[in-house]
Structure 1
Amino acid sequence: MPQGTDTDTDIPMADSLLRRFFLPKPNRFFLLRLSAVALATVLFFTQVLIPLRIEGYSMEPTYRNGTFNLCWRWRYLLSEPRHGDVVVIRFAGRRVMLLKRVVALAGDSVAFREGVLLINGQPVTEPYVRMRSNWNLEPRTVAAGKVYVVGDNRGVPIERHHFGQVDQERIMGGVLW
């Protein structure tokens, strides 16, 4: 018999190893490994990285309708959200989540004048906002334990947007990229 072949099948050893790796015999050890991988996968994609399908236009052009991303759940484990962070907010359970940008933190005064965001009375440069509508909103102070969030697509009327103060506990995490 030629060297480097499997004794049972005359197939080169590399092919045999690959076949056993990708098509193992379903014994108890295989089922245990399969169960462990399935459990680890479910835990990872429910507790660490949550897959998101972006539906809607409120974060365009930064995040486009119909694309996918991941929510990094541990992003704010040891830190607080900062100005400009894009966060995933639990809106209704874990099925409906909103993707929004943090524009103001607790204690900040936030307002819109002719579409321009004002934080503590000062205009904010927002290179991610492409189109602006005539948003006008009187100044309001963000309460303790909350952040003020808004989408990047400001080209639609203010009445058609979900934005405002959100409890920090409702923030699920940040987007991965």
Structure 2
Amino acid sequence: MLKLFARIAGYFSNRNLVGVDKAGNRYFTRKDEIDGIMKEKRWVVFRGEEDSTCIPVEWICWLNGQRKIAPTPEEIMELEARRERVRQNVARLKKEEEEKRAKEGNACKTSISGKVGGPDLKSFIRQFPDASEGGKVKEASDAMDGTRNSKERVTEKAETEPESSEPTGSGASFKPGTWQPPS
């Protein structure tokens, strides 16, 4: 009897049922005149507990006004089928990835013949010179890095010339993109 009364009261109110989602939530709209402007109000009546996480994305977009037209049942079915295909594809990819890891794991174990795989630390350490060869490392790195070499020349030049308190400018010799902040 209470449901019948609620349904009859719903007919006399100025709200319109727009649609129902898969969870049974009902979506309504009402047009109100506010300050001479017709505004549309949209809301949802939850079936059961009020859990906003159970609202589908297409209905959220409609409630927020990102969609002008509410989603149709055909559109909802199509989107649900697409979501199911995506879930199946993700499950298939995970399964393939696990199979690939299992194959690679077996291949590594047979090729190493019992040794534990990992980085080769000896070859990593060999690329760093001993402390006694410090001068050779500096020369090699300077030859490889021209910018470092030019910075050293600038610092050597700065050490030989006394610093002036007067501001200096580059004037006509300035080239855009070449300025470096003083260090």
Greater strand content: 1
Point out the structure with max Rg over C-alpha.
Answer: 2
TM range (shorter): under 0.3
Greater helix content: 2
Please report the TM-score for the alignment, with normalisation by the length of structure 2: 0.24
- Taking CA–CA contacts closer than 8 Å with sequence separation of 6 or more, which of the two structures ends up with the larger relative contact order? 1
Please report the TM-score for the alignment, with normalisation by the length of structure 1: 0.25
